[in-house]
Chains A and B, each alone.
Chain A
Amino acid sequence: MSALLSIVSALALQQTVVAMKPPVIPRAPSRLDASPHNFFGPMARPMSEATDLCQLCHVPNRLEWPGRGPKWDPKRPGRNAALDVRADPTGPPLALRWAGSTLRCLSCHDGTVSSINIAHRASSASLRFDGNAANGLMASGRNGPALAYPELTTGPVMGNHPVSVPYPLDHAGSEYKGFGPRAVPINTLEWVPDPRVNGLKLVSDTSGFDVLRGTVGVECSSCHDPHGTTNTYFLRVPKERSELCLGCHRK
């Protein structure tokens, strides 16, 4: 009953947002302000188009300009293929097609796209930040947040936790982004039935809000909240005592 109410109210809210042009208003500092994803620095107030943190990733009202789409545009997958997670160096890629929210993360974090390249700004000039590569790409390697490391330039980029992969929610075999259930029976002793109770996030294959067993997977956002958390590395759960890892892995 309460779920129904909240859906109704969310619909009403959305209609209000669409109807109104967003005003430029002062706002209180958010977790995003305090996070490394605040590329304008903590003192950028009040909010304006020039200092809008959201526009770095999000287009208002899902507006897209033809030919000037975000770099993570799924129609241009070649720009996002640098990260290649494999089970082992000689095996096939675990995920060839990046999908879902991970694609958005990789638009910066694969190290091949300019760190700041805002789609709908009148000028496409990249913003530069100290410590980033001179070519405007996200710095990689030591201290860099990009996932390609210079010492691992040969062969596929490995050593990263797999993403865009199914999760056995409630120990049910899952099909997610074209990856079917594992051929071998799921070892129920190895997986937490529902990591969401531990503060982690699962993603639905149908991009809806309903996370149904059999169609759920793990993306970057399962562990990271790009809008900032009270933990390091945008982690949804503290890494101390490995609470994060053990939120899914029953080891």
Chain B
Amino acid sequence: MSALVAVFAAMTLAQANVRNTRHNLSSTSSNPVKALSETQVCVFCHIPHGGSQSRATWNRNLAYQAGGTIYTVYGSSTVEAPPDRPNGASRLCLSCHDGALALGALLNLDATRPATVAMQGGVTTMPVGPRNLGTDLRNDHPISLPIPATDPEIIAPPGGDAVKLQVGATSAKDRVQCTSCHDPHLPTAKFLVKSNLRGALCLTCHPKQGWLGSRHEASLAPYPATGSQTVGDLGCIACHKPHNGEGPTKLLTTQNLSGTPLAWNEENVCFSCHRSGGTGIDPVRSRAAPDIQTEALKASRHPFNLKLDEHQPIFTAKVPEPEPVLNVQKHVECADCHNPHQVQALPGNVHEGSKGISLSGAVVVDNAGVNLAQYEVCFRCHGDSFATMIAPAATRPPGGSNKRLEFQTTNDAFHPVAGPGRNTSTYLNNVLDSPAGQLVGLDWQGNRLNRFSTVLCTDCHNNQATGTAGNTGSARQSAGGPKGPHGSTNPRLLRANYSTAVGGGSAPFGSFNANNFALCFLCHDSASLRGNRSNFFQAGGVGAGRGNLHEVHLVTRTNASCHECHYNVHSNVAATNTDYRNVPAGTPTHLVNFSPNVTRGSGNDPQYGDSPTRPRWGRTPSGDYYCFAGCHGRADAMDGDKSVYRPPNP
């Protein structure tokens, strides 16, 4: 009885062997590629006597590979340990899988040296397809490379793991070889030594920090959209292809499982999922992968598509900041802002595991102890290196500006990105958090907007879908999306309309239209601004006593636009067309800086008797605020003391 059991067990085991794999090239197999009449299985690779000078008594003449010079090896700007030319066990695999040597070309067969086994269907070398890697191995996972000692995200497989480095006392020792992931005898899918479900195989050597629990790892969205396998199930191979990847390096794929493969383009790796219908609906989140591809096609966008080459991922330590600009056609890639191995969905940190530049100009890396602020990511390109990072564009102010300097909290005026603003007057509160309830906005952290709030770059620069009517306050609080500064139908990637046209008595400035400044009015309540509730106020007895001067400028008199007096709303640092007079250091300048179309006042300044070369804003000798600009020289405008105002609570 026990003998019977043993025989049965042996039979069962006999089924699970190399005979049941694609590597059974014998005529007795049912594989599409097999020999005409040879019934031996092992002989296609091994021969007990007369094999080549290698391990495993290899039955194929490896002389054509001498030195491995026929191969072009993997290379990447981020590779930690450059691979050698193929050596060790990998050479054996390549003797079929490089497509150079006929499958039946053996060193020895029944004492015939060399021998050629005829294959069915006239097959000679490995048929063209994903299994034929060719001799150009740049789009294949590197082989014959040691494990770098310096990178915590590339480690040797633990002892006893199915994934193994090559053993033996040679130059190929302790290196990753084909056999690290594939066992050529194993009747598993792709001969993998263990399942790669949820990236288990890859993660053996690539313990990507922050991967577990990241949005991509945790995703339950079906991919392909109509399939049952989720993005998280696919793991690494949703974006990476260890062999014959479409990308030139980093083994990236644009396979687009939900449709026809996309052309190679770095952003198309992401757009394989992040497009309309890219994935199915994640049942927990009730949404599919955000459609960023549509955003990237909008009139105003971060320029994803300008260049076909890759950018260094933001999450590699290999690239210094600022990243060297390699070409004149400036562009941005998804990986410049997002680390796909760690990214979290909003309201989590979409820049988890990314890199940025701090307010002080230091490189900061997001990790377990450091939460990167959004503006720090923006400063990578829009900070000190803006002049080289950002191409001149018609929509960009001439010369641009260094936003890192713009948002220093020591500046006299700035939008409160890196810290609360300078203007802490209650009148600002009136505008931001309207007691009358006209505007109920929350900041990005969910608090009522107030004079101490901070804002995100994306509170102004965002998808226009986040700035439609009713979506007041921070864009983070908007129902619209997908969020983020990917693209907008509004110029300058703005979340809502912000007209810079100059009033001329005709549309759109024939009369006041709140929509011209819809962007500003998402946070600054237009009703409060135009009522007697702002600092720009000329009380009775001061100047012409016209009350709320915002109302005067925007509506009743000139139909000015916001940007004529607040030309650069980031800060006053780069103001080139404003002469600040008698403004004590450290006092708020209320983001007053004149647009280039505002001219200097004619004649002498009645307050100081001099003749400034630029439009002037500042304090009179007695401490009141005043303007001296070309506007007020016009016949219908005020001049002299009429331009003086006294904020009730500066």
- A positions within 8 Å CB-CB of B: 87-92, 141-145, 147, 149, 152, 155-156, 158-161, 184-185, 197, 223, 232, 239-242, 245-246, 249-251
Residue from the list B13, B41, B169 in contact with A90, Cβ < 8 A: B169
Q: Does B48 contact A (CB under 8 A)?
A: yes
19 sampled A-B residue pairs with Cβ under 8 A: A87-B55, A87-B168, A88-B54, A88-B172, A90-B169, A91-B170, A144-B111, A152-B53, A155-B53, A159-B51, A159-B57, A160-B57, A241-B26, A242-B19, A242-B26, A242-B40, A245-B42, A246-B18, A246-B41
B169→A91 contact, CB < 8 A: yes
Residues of chain B in range 22-58 having any CB-CB distance to chain A below 8 Å: 26, 28, 39-43, 46-55, 57-58
- Residues in chain B near residue A246, CB distance under 8 A: 14, 17-19, 41-42
B17→A250 contact, CB < 8 A: yes
Q: Does B171 contact A (CB under 8 A)?
A: yes
For the complex formed, measure the closest distance between the CB of B448 and the CB atoms of chain A, giving whole angstroms.
65
Q: How far is the CA of A241 from the CA of B160 in the complex (A)?
A: 32
A160→B54 contact, CB < 8 A: no
Given known pairs A143-B111, A241-B39, the reply for A159 and B170 (CB within 8 Å) is: no
Q: Does B113 contact A (CB under 8 A)?
A: yes
- B positions within 8 Å CB-CB of A: 10, 13-14, 17-19, 26, 28, 39-43, 46-55, 57-58, 107, 110-113, 160, 167-172, 185
Given contacts A245-B41, A246-B19, 12 further A-B contacts (CB under 8 A): A87-B55, A89-B53, A149-B113, A152-B53, A159-B47, A159-B49, A159-B53, A241-B19, A241-B26, A246-B14, A250-B13, A251-B42
User: Chain A residue with minimal CB distance to B185?
Assistant: A251
A88→B170 contact, CB < 8 A: yes
Residue from the list A156, A160, A240, A249 in contact with B49, Cβ < 8 A: A160
Q: How far is the CA of A119 from the CA of B210 in the complex (A)?
A: 75
Q: How far is the CA of A185 from the CA of B161 in the complex (A)?
A: 12
Given known pairs A142-B113, A149-B50, A160-B57, the reply for A92 and B17 (CB within 8 Å) is: no
Q: How far is the CA of A161 from the CA of B41 in the complex (A)?
A: 16
A160→B39 contact, CB < 8 A: no
- Residues in chain A near residue B111, CB distance under 8 A: 142-145
User: Chain A residue with minimal CB distance to B48?
Assistant: A161
For the complex formed, measure the closest distance between the CB of A221 and the CB atoms of chain B, giving whole angstroms.
13
- Residues in chain A near residue B50, CB distance under 8 A: 147, 149, 159-160
Judged by DSSP, the binding face of A is loop
Q: How far is the CA of A245 from the CA of B26 in the complex (A)?
A: 14
User: Chain B residue with minimal CB distance to A143?
Assistant: B111
For the complex formed, measure the closest distance between the CB of B260 and the CB atoms of chain A, giving whole angstroms.
39
A245→B53 contact, CB < 8 A: no
B40→A88 contact, CB < 8 A: no
B28→A241 contact, CB < 8 A: yes
Q: How far is the CA of A141 from the CA of B14 in the complex (A)?
A: 35
A242→B41 contact, CB < 8 A: yes
- Residues in chain A near residue B14, CB distance under 8 A: 246
User: Chain B residue with minimal CB distance to A155?
Assistant: B53
- Residues in chain B near residue A161, CB distance under 8 A: 48-49, 57
For the complex formed, measure the closest distance between the CB of A225 and the CB atoms of chain B, giving whole angstroms.
15
User: Chain B residue with minimal CB distance to A245?
Assistant: B42
Given known pairs A239-B40, A241-B39, A251-B185, the reply for A147 and B170 (CB within 8 Å) is: no
For the complex formed, measure the closest distance between the CB of B114 and the CB atoms of chain A, giving whole angstroms.
10
Q: How far is the CA of A141 from the CA of B46 in the complex (A)?
A: 18
For the complex formed, measure the closest distance between the CB of B104 and the CB atoms of chain A, giving whole angstroms.
16
B169→A92 contact, CB < 8 A: yes
Q: How far is the CA of A159 from the CA of B167 in the complex (A)?
A: 18
- Residues in chain B near residue A251, CB distance under 8 A: 17-18, 42, 185
Q: How far is the CA of A78 from the CA of B17 in the complex (A)?
A: 41
For the complex formed, measure the closest distance between the CB of A191 and the CB atoms of chain B, giving whole angstroms.
11
For the complex formed, measure the closest distance between the CB of A238 and the CB atoms of chain B, giving whole angstroms.
9
Q: How far is the CA of A249 from the CA of B41 in the complex (A)?
A: 12
Q: How far is the CA of A209 from the CA of B46 in the complex (A)?
A: 31
- Residues in chain A near residue B168, CB distance under 8 A: 87-88, 91
- Residues in chain B near residue A91, CB distance under 8 A: 168-170
For the complex formed, measure the closest distance between the CB of A87 and the CB atoms of chain B, giving whole angstroms.
5
Q: How far is the CA of A149 from the CA of B112 in the complex (A)?
A: 12
B39→A240 contact, CB < 8 A: yes
For the complex formed, measure the closest distance between the CB of B184 and the CB atoms of chain A, giving whole angstroms.
9
User: Chain A residue with minimal CB distance to B46?
Assistant: A245
- Residues in chain A near residue B185, CB distance under 8 A: 251
- Residues in chain A near residue B170, CB distance under 8 A: 88-91
A241→B47 contact, CB < 8 A: no
- Residues in chain A near residue B58, CB distance under 8 A: 159
- Residues in chain A near residue B110, CB distance under 8 A: 232
- Residues in chain B near residue A87, CB distance under 8 A: 55, 168-169
For the complex formed, measure the closest distance between the CB of A188 and the CB atoms of chain B, giving whole angstroms.
11
For the complex formed, measure the closest distance between the CB of B164 and the CB atoms of chain A, giving whole angstroms.
10
Q: How far is the CA of A147 from the CA of B49 in the complex (A)?
A: 7
For the complex formed, measure the closest distance between the CB of B299 and the CB atoms of chain A, giving whole angstroms.
61
User: Chain A residue with minimal CB distance to B171?
Assistant: A90
B48→A160 contact, CB < 8 A: yes
User: Chain A residue with minimal CB distance to B6?
Assistant: A197
B57→A241 contact, CB < 8 A: no
Q: Which of B17, B26, B47, B48 has the most CB of A within 10 A?
A: B48
Nearest first, the 5 closest Cβ-Cβ pairs linking A and B are A159-B51, A251-B185, A242-B41, A161-B48, A245-B42
Q: How far is the CA of A88 from the CA of B177 in the complex (A)?
A: 15
A242→B13 contact, CB < 8 A: no
Q: Which of A89, A147, A223, A242 has the most CB of B within 10 A?
A: A242
Q: Which of B47, B50, B52 has the most CB of A within 10 A?
A: B50
- Residues in chain B near residue A141, CB distance under 8 A: 113
Q: How far is the CA of A89 from the CA of B10 in the complex (A)?
A: 36
A88→B17 contact, CB < 8 A: no
- Residues in chain B near residue A160, CB distance under 8 A: 48-51, 57
Q: How far is the CA of A240 from the CA of B40 in the complex (A)?
A: 5
- Residues in chain B near residue A145, CB distance under 8 A: 111
For the complex formed, measure the closest distance between the CB of B571 and the CB atoms of chain A, giving whole angstroms.
65
Q: How far is the CA of A89 from the CA of B170 in the complex (A)?
A: 8
Q: How far is the CA of A233 from the CA of B26 in the complex (A)?
A: 20
- Residues in chain B near residue A197, CB distance under 8 A: 10
For the complex formed, measure the closest distance between the CB of A158 and the CB atoms of chain B, giving whole angstroms.
4
For the complex formed, measure the closest distance between the CB of A92 and the CB atoms of chain B, giving whole angstroms.
7
Q: How far is the CA of A147 from the CA of B13 in the complex (A)?
A: 33
User: Chain A residue with minimal CB distance to B14?
Assistant: A246
User: Chain B residue with minimal CB distance to A183?
Assistant: B167
User: Chain B residue with minimal CB distance to A161?
Assistant: B48
For the complex formed, measure the closest distance between the CB of B5 and the CB atoms of chain A, giving whole angstroms.
14
For the complex formed, measure the closest distance between the CB of A235 and the CB atoms of chain B, giving whole angstroms.
10
- Residues in chain A near residue B55, CB distance under 8 A: 87-88
Q: How far is the CA of A235 from the CA of B607 in the complex (A)?
A: 115
- Residues in chain A near residue B167, CB distance under 8 A: 184
A241→B49 contact, CB < 8 A: no
- Residues in chain A near residue B18, CB distance under 8 A: 246, 251
- Residues in chain A near residue B51, CB distance under 8 A: 158-160
For the complex formed, measure the closest distance between the CB of B610 and the CB atoms of chain A, giving whole angstroms.
88
For the complex formed, measure the closest distance between the CB of B392 and the CB atoms of chain A, giving whole angstroms.
59
Residue from the list A142, A147, A184, A242 in contact with B42, Cβ < 8 A: A242
Q: How far is the CA of A242 from the CA of B160 in the complex (A)?
A: 29
For the complex formed, measure the closest distance between the CB of A182 and the CB atoms of chain B, giving whole angstroms.
10
Q: How far is the CA of A161 from the CA of B10 in the complex (A)?
A: 25
Q: How far is the CA of A88 from the CA of B168 in the complex (A)?
A: 8
- Residues in chain B near residue A144, CB distance under 8 A: 111
For the complex formed, measure the closest distance between the CB of B49 and the CB atoms of chain A, giving whole angstroms.
5
